[in-house]
Each structure stands twice: as C-alpha cells, then as structure tokens.
Amino acid sequence: MHTAIQLILTSLQIGAVYILFSLGLTLIFGVMRIVNFAHGHLFAISALVVAYTVPLLAGWNLPALPAYLLGVVAAVAVTLVLGFLMYVFGFRYFQRDMVGSFILSIGLVLLLDGVFLKVFGGAVRPVPEILPGTVTILGAPVTAQRLALCVAAVIITALLYWAMTRTKLGKALRAVSIDHEAAMLQGVPYGRIAFAGFMIASALAALAGALIAPVTIVSPAIGADYLIKGFIAVIVGGLGSVPGAILGGLFVAAIETVGGFYFDATSATIAIFLLVIVVLLVRPKGLLGHG
C-alpha cells in the first residue's frame, strides 16, 4: 500500500511536467500542423534562467521564495522572447509544412544547443531549496517542493482547460485544430490564432521548465529527455488533443515510474516504446486522437 502510494505520487510529479510539455506540443501541432523539435529548448532555457538567477538573487540576500518567483518571471519572459523569435522569423513561414518545419526545428535545435552552451556553460546548475520540508500524504513522504510543483501544474492545466473550453480564443484554437479552413470561413483569423497558440505553448514550456528547475539538475541538455517523453505522451494521447496530452502525460509517467521501480530505467524506457507501438497498432491516431 505504502509503495503504491509512493509510486502514484511519483508518477503524478513526473506526469505533471510531461503534461505541461505535451500540452504545448499538441497545441502547436493542432493549430499549425507542425512538430517543433526545438520545443525542448524553450523548456530548457526557462530552467536555465531560473538556475542562473535564483543563486544570483540569493547572493543579494533575497530570501529563497521571492528569489525563485522573480526567477520564474525572468524565465517566462526570456522563453516568450525566444518563442516569439522562433515564430516570427521561422515557423510562421512553415505552417502546415511538415518537412519544412522539421528541417527548421532541427536547425534550431543545433543552433540553440550551441548558444546555450556558450551562454550558460556545460556545467550542471543546482538551484537552492525554495520550499524546505516534507509533507506526508497517506503515509508517503513528499518534499514540499515536489508537492508545490504538482499543485502548480494541476492549476495551470486546469486553467488551460478552462480557457480552451470557455473563452473565445480557446474555441478558436480548437476550431482551427479541427479544420482551419472552416474556422477561417467563420471569421477566425488563422495567422493570429496560430501565433497565439505558439505563444501559449511557449508559455507552458516556460512554466514547466521553471517548475522543474528546483527539483532536478539543470543543464543545457535538460530539454531532450522531456521532449522525447512529451512526444510519446502526445502520440499516445492523440496529436492535437488536449485531453489526450493530459492522459498521455500521466500514462508515460506511470509506466516510467512503475517500470523504474520494479525493474530499472532502461526497462522502463523500453516499456514506454512498447506501449507506443501497442497503442498505435490498436488506435493509430492515439487514445483520444481525431484528425
């Protein structure tokens, strides 16, 4: 029982980040029909900015929590600027062009790998503890930081879900994902909605990166692993589907956690790939996929 609760809690923590990550991927795919392999770098730059600014601010005798919150603001701002540049100078010209956007995003990956290494250095950066202590949930201990990460991720996911179903922008994003031409025929300005979708996705990556920074080891390469897992999550859940991204994120996290606990990390990774194959054989468009 204790083990089960521990495993569930761990799955939720990892899953929370995968969800934020895959929501961004699925949003961009849905609206622009492209896959952004540089999405992991949006996530990475956010984590890097947090890891860079928090020790700096702490050095000026700012307490940990305010230092972190300022760091998050800076990280989100920097990530949004990077996302903006990616869109305005890049992906805007490759909408609905799988091959072109693929080449562009691979180029961005290589470019940003170099830039990050130059700016932040290759060394890993620890972030000082923001929220000390542990909380016990149903007999299983969780660090306060990880719990806060989960709560924040749940709130962000809920807000996004609310926005997608209740606001005019959200409905336009969903309509464009289903049929962009039909959406335009209703007066939905495709270009502006695509831009909004890309920027929301960038913001989600920024928040995911800023949330993960205090509970992990931050390096310029941090995005790669999450990118792969986030991808698997959206493919399993159904590219373009918001509920699918949530379900897929939890699914991948659960298998990774359980597999890693009973076997080892390598077996867990193999299990994830087997899962993808099985899901795609049974439901080629993913669990909740449509178009």
Partner 1 sequence: MTAEAIPLAVAGLSASYGVVPALHDVDLSVRSGQIVTLIGANGAGKSTLIKAVCGLVRPASGTVRLFGEEVTGMSPDRLVRKGLSVVPEGRRLFGEMTLLENLELGAFARNDQAAVRRDLDKVLDLFPELRDRLSTAAGTFSGGQQQMIAVARALMSAPRLLLLDEPTIGLAPAIVDRIAELITHIAGTGVNILLVEQNAETALAVADYAYILEGGAIVAHDGARVLANSPEIQRAYLGI
Nearer to partner 1 by Cβ, of 175 and 271: the residue is 175
Query: Distance (Å, rounded) from C-alpha 106 to C-alpha 88?
Result: 17
The token pair at 266 is 């390598």
Binding to partner 1 (CB under 8 A): which residues in 145-174? 168, 171-172, 174
Binding to partner 1 (CB under 8 A): which residues in 187-246? 187-190
Nearer to partner 1 by Cβ, of 134 and 186: the residue is 186
- Token pair 């600027």 is found at 81
- Least distance from C-beta 124 to partner 1, angstroms? 43
Nearer to partner 1 by Cβ, of 214 and 238: the residue is 238
Nearer to partner 1 by Cβ, of 55 and 243: the residue is 243
Hey, how many other C-beta atoms are within 10 angstroms of the C-beta on 130? Answer: 22
Alpha helices in the chain (DSSP H): 2-32, 39-59, 64-89, 98-120, 144-166, 168-178, 180-185, 190-212, 222-237, 242-262, 265-282
Residues with Cβ within 8 Å of residue 42, at least 6 apart in sequence: 24, 79, 82, 83, 86, 202, 205, 206, 209, 223
Answer for which of 96, 110, 137, 179 binds partner 1 (CB under 8 A) is 179
Count of residues near partner 1 by CB under 8 A: 18
Answer for which of 123, 181, 282, 284 binds partner 1 (CB under 8 A) is 181
List residues binding partner 1 (CB under 8 A): 168, 171-172, 174-175, 178-179, 181-190, 290
